[in-house]
Amino acid sequence: MTALCLVELDGAEPADASLRAVTLARSLGTGVGAVLFGGAVPADTLAGYGVTDAYLVEPSAVAGYAPRAWARVLAGLIAQAGATAVLAAGTDRGHEVLAHLGAITGLPMAANCTEVTPHGPGAHRVVRHRWAGLLLEEAILEAPVALLTVAADAVQAAAAETPAPVAVHVRTAELADEDLRVLAVESPAGAGGASLATARVVVGGGRGVGGPDGFAPLEELAGLLGGVVGVSRVVTSEGWRPHRQQVGQTGTKITPEVYLACGISGAIQHVAGCAGARHIIAINTDPGAPIVARADYAVLGDLHQVVPALIEALRARRPGPA
């Protein structure tokens, strides 16, 4: 018995979200088989997270990202590996590939799981996100093979206690033309910069920023902390900032070490996006703002004074320009 886990790569290493999925896969108590498309197998890292087998699908078999083709390969591997579950990170790609796999096999799929335990033959008990994690659903997934995506902002990646060597299997894919009809053409623009989803520090700005011109200090602060700026939904609805900076249920879900929320009240749709932050620091004039109740630390004050003062203090810590 084994649980297959789709592993997305971030450069040469497994994406953090995929390591979280591998961690949840271990809780099934079976072996864990990682499935990778292209590249080389990062065997040491995978072994450290308890992966026992790695299935490398040759790049020549599927050029680039083709969701239906990836799902077709997984469908073939289920039988070959004797899989009782297939997992993927709850990313755009993870959700999409597993949805295709569900459609190809006729199996049900549970999205954004936070817990999974075997529940007798052919069934699992799962806990999964609804409302982007504002609610938890306890459910029974009855299926010969459980298809699960993993809520990447709610499950921490944890190394295995007893890593074993990874057996690598190289596979070629048998695909139909229709499997390759929809292919991603990746554009290099924008790649390489810190992304909102993976940044270690996010400086958030909300209605309290006041308008489109108020974000320069937040950008500067984010730069000093090696992070990026994220914003609340009202900021994007007003057109102050582009939607790709939105943190929330309908934007990006973030998992930074520190989320510094400036002038953000903490509407529930925003909380759905930032609940995965390890630490939240709120800067807000209103001690009764919901974000303050969700924060670890709070500064009660106007961000228009606090942020420039913080920037000054951080600059003073650094060796000054010659």
Partner 1 sequence: MEILVCVKRVPTVGGTIAVTPDGQQVDTRMSGWTISPHEECAVEEAVRITERLGGTVSVLTLGPEAAVAQLRDALALGAGRAVLLETDGREFGPIATAAAIAAEVRSRGYDLVLLGNEAADTGDYQVGVRLAHQLGWPVATGIKNLTVSAGGAVACREYRGAEETYRLPLPAVITVKEGINLPRYPSLPGRLRARRAQVERSPAPWRPEGLRKQALRVPAAAGRRAVILGHGTEAVPELVRVLGELGVLP
Binding residues for partner 1 restricted to 156-215, rule: CB under 8 A: 178, 181-198, 200-201
DSSP 139-155: EEEE-SSEEEEE-TTTS
Toward partner 1, which CB reaches closer, 159 or 300?
300
Toward partner 1, which CB reaches closer, 30 or 249?
249
List, in order, residues 6 or more apart from 321 with CB less than 8 Å away.
none
Find where tokens 């400036």 sit.
262
Q: How far is the CB of 194 from partner 1 (least distance, A)?
A: 8
Q: How far is the CB of 52 from partner 1 (least distance, A)?
A: 27
User: Which range binds partner 1 by CB under 8 A, 34-42, 45-53, 159-167, 304-312?
Assistant: 304-312
By CB under 8 A, residue 315 contacts partner 1: no
- Type and span of the H or E element at 70: helix 67-81
Instruction: Determine whether 197 is exposed, middle or buried from the number of CB atoms within 10 Å of its CB (0-12, 13-18, 19+).
Output: buried
By CB under 8 A, residue 232 contacts partner 1: no
User: Which range binds partner 1 by CB under 8 A, 27-35, 44-52, 109-117, 160-168?
Assistant: 109-117
Hey, what are 109's tokens? Answer: 């799929």
Toward partner 1, which CB reaches closer, 23 or 91?
91
Facing residues of 168 across strands?
A: 54
Find where tokens 């052919």 sit.
122
Q: How far is the CB of 315 from partner 1 (least distance, A)?
A: 11
Q: How far is the CB of 280 from partner 1 (least distance, A)?
A: 7
> Please, what is the angle between helix 67-81 and helix 92-105, to 10°?
60
Toward partner 1, which CB reaches closer, 170 or 313?
313
59, 82, 131, 164: which one contacts partner 1 (CB under 8 A)? 131
Q: Which of 206, 203, 270, 273 is nearest to 240 (CA)?
A: 206
> x/- site string to partner 1, residues 60 to 99, per CB under 8 A?
-----x-x----------------------x-xx-xx-xx
Q: Which of 57, 64, 19 is nearest to 41 (CA)?
A: 57
What are the CA-CA distances from residue 199 to residues 92, 228, 256, 261, 314 (Å)?
Answer: 18, 7, 6, 14, 19
- Rg of the chain on CA atoms, in Å: 22
Q: Which of 60, 63, 56, 108 is nearest to 86 (CA)?
A: 108
13, 118, 243, 286: which one contacts partner 1 (CB under 8 A)? 243
Toward partner 1, which CB reaches closer, 317 or 321?
317
> x/- site string to partner 1, residues 3 to 42, per CB under 8 A?
-------x--------------------------------
Toward partner 1, which CB reaches closer, 2 or 91?
91
Tell me if 25 sits within 8 A of 85, measured CB to CB.
yes
Q: Count other C-beta atoms under 10 Å from residue 216's C-beta.
A: 8
Q: How far is the CB of 138 from partner 1 (least distance, A)?
A: 5
By CB under 8 A, residue 292 contacts partner 1: yes
